[in-house]
Amino acid sequence: MDLWFGDSWPIGQELGPKLTKIQNLKYCYQYKDAFNTFPNMQPAEGDNPILAFPTLVSNHRKSEFINFAKTASSIEYALFQLITFCSANREKLKSSPESYYTAFLCLTAQIRGFGIDHLTGKQIHYFNNSRKSIDETAIYDSLITINSFYAICRLYNINCVIIPIFCDLLIPEDFRQIVLFKSALLTEISLVELTFGEKFIDNKLYDTGITEHEYYSLLSSKSWITPNKMHPNVIGHKQLAYKLIELLENR
C-alpha cells in the first residue's frame, strides 16, 4: 500500500477543468468513492490525480494507494496527515508485514507552513508572510518536520521515501548533523531538474528584475507545462513518473 503526501503537483492540479459549483456537486456525488483514494482532491479547482505521477508510479508498482496530497499545502501538513492516518489505523499498521506500507513524502517549498487554530479548530495553510519568513528558522523547522515524518514511519513499520519535487531540498551545512532521514532521501535535487534538466524556479531570473507575472509566463511556455500555467501537463507527469520509477529501482 502506497501512501502519497504533498501539494498541488502530486494531486494533479491543472490536469482537469475547473468546475462550476453545480458541476462540482455532480462530480462529487458521482465519484464519491474516489475520495477514499484522494481525500483532499478538489475537482472544482482542476485537480485530476488519476493522471498525476503518483498514480502512474503506484500502478507500475502494482500497489494499492491513497493520495493525501492537497493543493498549496506544506511539509507540516503532510506530517499532520500521516499522524492522522497512523492514529486511525494503529492496530492494522502494527500487525502488517514489514514494509507493506510505503509513504512517499513529496517535498514542497520549505517556507510553507500549517497550523490549527485551537479556538475554532480551523486549519491554516500559510506561506512566507508575517507568520513565517524566508530565513534559516523556516528551513530548520522544515527539517525537524521531515525528521518527525521519518520517525513516525519507523515507529509504525512504514517504509519511507522522501523526494523533492519542484524545488531542491535546502540543508545548510550547519544543519546536516540534525538530519535523521538521510537513508530515506532519494536525492536533494528536485525531481523536476532530474527529469527535465532545468530548475522549475531559477532564482537568477529574479536578479534581472523580472516580475512574478512575467516569470509565470515563462513557465507556461515550457513543453512539459503548456497549456497549463504552472503545473506539469499529462506528458510532463508521465516523464516525472518514469524518472521516479528509475530512481526507486536504482535505489
Out of 160-174, 181-195, 214-228, least confident range: 214-228
25 or 149, which is more confident: 149
Q: By the 8 A CB rule, do 54 and 10 touch?
A: yes
pLDDT reading at 210 higher than 50? yes
Q: Is the pLDDT of residue 216 over 80?
A: no
**Rounded Cα distance, 93 and 90, in Å:** 5
For the residues 199-228, what does the mean pLDDT come to? 74
Cell of 212: 512574478
153 within domain boundaries: yes
43 in a structural domain: yes
What pLDDT, on the 0 to 100 scale, is given for residue 148?
Answer: 98
Integer angstrom CA distances of residue 44 from 40, 48, 59, 72, 182: 12, 10, 25, 15, 38
User: Where residue 105 sits, what CATH number does that domain have?
Assistant: 3.40.50
Rounded percentage of the chain residues whose pLDDT exceeds 90: 67
Residue 231 lies in a domain: no
Is the pLDDT assigned to residue 207 strictly greater than 60?
no
Mean pLDDT of the chain: 89
Q: Is 135 a residue whose pLDDT tops 80?
A: no
Secondary structure of residue 192 in the 3-state scheme = helix
Helix, strand or coil for residue 116?
A: strand
Q: Residues 223, 224, 230, 233: what is their CA dihedral angle, to the nearest 10 degrees? A: 120
The rounded percent of the chain whose pLDDT value lies above 70 is 90
Strand-by-strand arrangement of the 159-164 sheet: 65-67, 2-5, 102-107, 159-164
| 84 found inside a domain | yes
Q: Tell me whether residue 156 is in a domain.
A: yes
What dihedral do alpha carbons 95, 97, 99, 105 form, nearest 10°? Answer: -30
Q: Is the pLDDT of residue 209 over 90?
A: no
Tell me how many domains the chain contains: 1
pLDDT bin (cut points 50, 70, 90) of residue 137 is confident
Q: Is residue 109 part of a domain?
A: yes
> In this structure, is residue 223 part of a structural domain?
no
Per the domain annotation, does 210 fall within a domain?
Answer: no
Per-residue pLDDT band for 133 (boundaries 50, 70, 90) equals very low
Print the domain residue range for 7.
Answer: 2-198+242-249
